Structure 1
Amino acid sequence: MARPNLTRPNATRPDAAGPNAAGPNVHRVQPGASVQAAVDAAHPGDVVELAAGNYPGSVTIATDGVTLRGQGNRSVLVPDPADHSACAAAGNGLCVTGVADDRGMPVRPVSGAVVESLAVAGFAKNGIAAAVTDKLTVHQVASHDNGLQGISVEMSTRTVLTENEARDNGQAGIFVANWFDRKGGALETRGTQVAANRLTGNRIGLQLRRVRDLTATGNLASGNCGGIFVVGDDGVPRAGSLSIANNVVRANNRYCEPNPRLDSVQGTGILLTGTEDVVVSENLITDHSGTSPMSGGIVLYPSVVGAPNARAVVTDNILADNLPVDLADLDQRNGSSFMTNSCRTSQPAGHC
């Protein structure tokens, strides 16, 4: 996604008017000032730029084409007990929120928002909570020590998540789904990209749940309970038709207790459960060990409702030092294929 041209910024107060022909308006915010006021004053194409410092309170972006930019890890959104906004009441740090109908179907997505070069830390639920968006970019954001997801993207299309760091969050570092709290068929994400992110110390590094048409490439998942999980069930359309490629998945050996929809997690590199037509290729998966029934390097595992994986393609991966096995097909049916993987052990034998 193209970024706004800032070669000739028009510096303004947070109550400034809309875009200027010479370039986007830049709403500069210092610590102690209201980020939300600046965001509310921004028009499509405007930039809200945070100086270095801590910014207590949650922020909601509901305007198309607004960029929220900080000074990297030096600009931090943190909770404020006095904040009673809807985003804060939900336990989230930064919300990008469109409009859905009563069935959860998008009515008016927020389009073209950009969040980059800042940190979001310490919120009860999600660091970043995006729902019903289109062409959202989250770039070089550090989201850490949040109760649920570091970065959560629900019911959104054409999302770009790149070069973010998500660490020490209670659930997933990055979570992409139809809805967190609803069932239903998988969402066609229309080419969402999850690339070059660093995911450490979470329950799951990257969780893709009930989504389709997505690529996850060049990510590092290390030190989580599980590395990369693609999760579906028997809903139609099925989760899948996506690519997991060129990722480094290493030593995800923390132990996480089971929850109502998933057994305990420990020592799982890449997991497919209840999916179809997923391609897992050219990944490096090493040093996993655990006592979970899903432990192993690459594991195909039936979903919580017993739905098997179908037609997975697992090819050209390098797997080493994963226990109990490098590669496990616990479905053993429905047309999955395993080709030219470099590994020592598989279940059943013969997939290496």
Structure 2
Amino acid sequence: MTKRQMIYLACAAGLLATGLGAAPSADLTIVHRVTPGESIQEAVNAARPGDTVVLSPGTYRESVRITTSDVTLRGSGPGTVLVPGAASDSTCATAGHGICVTGTADSSVTGVTVRALTLRGFAKNGLWASRTDRLAVRGVTSEKNGQWGIALERSLRSALSHNVARDNGDAGLFVSNTIDEEAGALDTKGTAVHHNLLAGNRVGVTVRRLRNVSVDHNEATGNCSAVFLVGDETTPRAGALSVRHNYIHANNKYCAKTPRLPFLQGSGIVLTGVEKSVVTKNLVQDNVGASPLSGGIVLFKSFVGALNESNDIRDNVVLRNGTADLANRDTAGRDNTFRGNTCAVSEPAGLC
């Protein structure tokens, strides 16, 4: 008899004894508790929709894959730490990720929550999610991972909140349409990236080839670039993005050039190849560098030729950034507006 069956029968007996019902609920959910030395993956495999897997404080040397909808994986705070374990044949571990939340082309994984734990030192990504709907990642620290701290593709209505992403090889938070093929921008139907701390990464937040994403109330400091909104020549175009109420300061780390980008240093908010997006009420200061992408808020032509169009840059405080507080370096872009901003230096002059 399984643990679930024993609890189910115990509840049924209690109900019958008290006269509260003749039959137990079919919606009984279980809390699976795991301590260091035990397998998280075994508990996740046993979980059914509605169940919660709770991790005690301590270090767990494994990767975990979640493919069941409406499951919560909850640590006990930053002291619950996942690090790479011994060689494993699991697809998540083999790929170099800490936690994987993955659906299929035919069926998304919905309603998964990951919260209150630390992911450290994985070769690829701390948390990787693909083909999800309503994924919530909250209170997670993802640090010193080889590529991205927390990364999503092909996912809708995600919520990334109150996380710390630091010292990752590329973006602290990365949300994208897809990473393995050329495709038009995906409408996320309201993905929200808010109240996160992003420090010491190559890029704090990258939003790539998406529509309907909000980035708000985050703090980004010590990165090479704080926020990157990236589009390209495909359709639908990337856009309908919102960047509001963020505190972006001293993102002056130096990152060497790549085959796609020049070196990065001193970039606050960069828009490249996006449309109909709003950047408003952000505090952007002390981001200083000499890269073509350096500056407080920068519009830059996409490296594949896509233009910025109909973006609204307004009511921001943008000070002490170099080479400029506001920079429109996408001279062919159309209908981009700068209004109501507090700044000192702009390219071209007259944007402040």
User: What TM-score do you get using the length of structure 2 for normalisation?
Assistant: 0.92
Structure 1 letter corresponding to 2:338: F
Distance in 2 between residues matched to 1:171 and 1:199, nearest whole Å: 12
Identity of aligned residues (%): 49
Distance in 1 between residues matched to 2:72 and 2:113, nearest whole Å: 4
Which residue does the alignment assign to 1:89?
Answer: 94
Which residue does the alignment assign to 1:202?
Answer: 201
Distance in 1 between residues matched to 2:324 and 2:279, nearest whole Å: 17
Distance in 1 between residues matched to 2:75 and 2:31, nearest whole Å: 12
Q: Which of residues 81, 86, 95 is equivalent to 1:76?
A: 81
* Cα distance change on mapping 1:74 and 1:13 into 2, 3 Å: farther
Structure 2 letter corresponding to 1:79: P
Which residue does the alignment assign to 1:193?
Answer: 192
Counterpart contact for 2:148–2:169, Cα < 8 Å:
yes
Distance in 1 between residues matched to 2:7 and 2:229, nearest whole Å: 44
Distance in 2 between residues matched to 1:347 and 1:176, nearest whole Å: 29
Q: Once the two structures are superposed, what CA deviation does each residue of 1:125-147 show, in whole Å capped at 9, x if it has no partner?
A: 00000000000000000000000
Structure 1 letter corresponding to 2:213: L
Distance in 1 between residues matched to 2:269 and 2:324, nearest whole Å: 12
Distance in 1 between residues matched to 2:247 and 2:6, nearest whole Å: 45
Q: Once the two structures are superposed, what CA deviation does each residue of 1:85-121 show, in whole Å capped at 9, x if it has no partner?
A: 1001101000000002xxxxxx211000000001111
Which residue does the alignment assign to 2:33?
Answer: 28
Counterpart contact for 1:13–1:28, Cα < 8 Å:
no
Structure 1 letter corresponding to 2:300: Y
Distance in 1 between residues matched to 2:5 and 2:246, nearest whole Å: 44
Counterpart check, 1:98 vs 2:103: yes
Structure 1 letter corresponding to 2:161: T
Classify the secondary structure of the residue corresponding to 2:206: strand
* Cα distance change on mapping 1:68 and 1:167 into 2, 3 Å: same
Q: CA deviation at 1:263?
A: 1.6
Which residue does the alignment assign to 2:111?
Answer: 112
Which residue does the alignment assign to 2:16?
Answer: none
* More moved, 19-28 vs 257-266: 19-28
Which residue does the alignment assign to 1:67?
Answer: 72
* Cα distance change on mapping 1:349 and 1:64 into 2, 3 Å: same
Structure 2 letter corresponding to 1:336: N
Classify the secondary structure of the residue corresponding to 2:349: coil
Distance in 2 between residues matched to 1:171 and 1:28, nearest whole Å: 33
Gaps of 5+ in 1: 1-11, 101-106
Q: Once the two structures are superposed, what CA deviation does each residue of 1:284-332 show, in whole Å capped at 9, x if it has no partner?
A: 0000111210100000001111211011100000011001100000113
Counterpart check, 1:146 vs 2:151: no
Structure 1 letter corresponding to 2:351: H
Q: Which of residues 35, 41, 50 is equivalent to 2:46?
A: 41
Counterpart contact for 2:315–2:339, Cα < 8 Å:
yes
Classify the secondary structure of the residue corresponding to 2:92: helix
- 1:110-189 → structure 2 map (5 Å cutoff): 110-189=109-188
Distance in 2 between residues matched to 1:237 and 1:181, nearest whole Å: 17
Which entry has the higher C-alpha Rg, 1 or 2?
2
Structure 1 letter corresponding to 2:109: V
Structure 2 letter corresponding to 1:193: A
Q: CA deviation at 1:259?
A: 1.3
Distance in 2 between residues matched to 1:24 and 1:149, nearest whole Å: 33
- 1:211-230 → structure 2 map (5 Å cutoff): 211-230=210-229
Counterpart contact for 2:98–2:127, Cα < 8 Å:
yes
Counterpart check, 1:270 vs 2:272: no
Which residue does the alignment assign to 1:5?
Answer: none
Q: Once the two structures are superposed, what CA deviation does each residue of 1:135-162 show, in whole Å capped at 9, x if it has no partner?
A: 0000000000000000001110000000
User: What TM-score do you get using the length of structure 1 for normalisation?
Assistant: 0.92
Which residue does the alignment assign to 1:322?
Answer: 321
How many residues are paired up? 335
Distance in 2 between residues matched to 1:181 and 1:164, nearest whole Å: 26
* More moved, 198-207 vs 17-26: 17-26
Counterpart check, 1:51 vs 2:50: no
Distance in 2 between residues matched to 1:183 and 1:302, nearest whole Å: 19
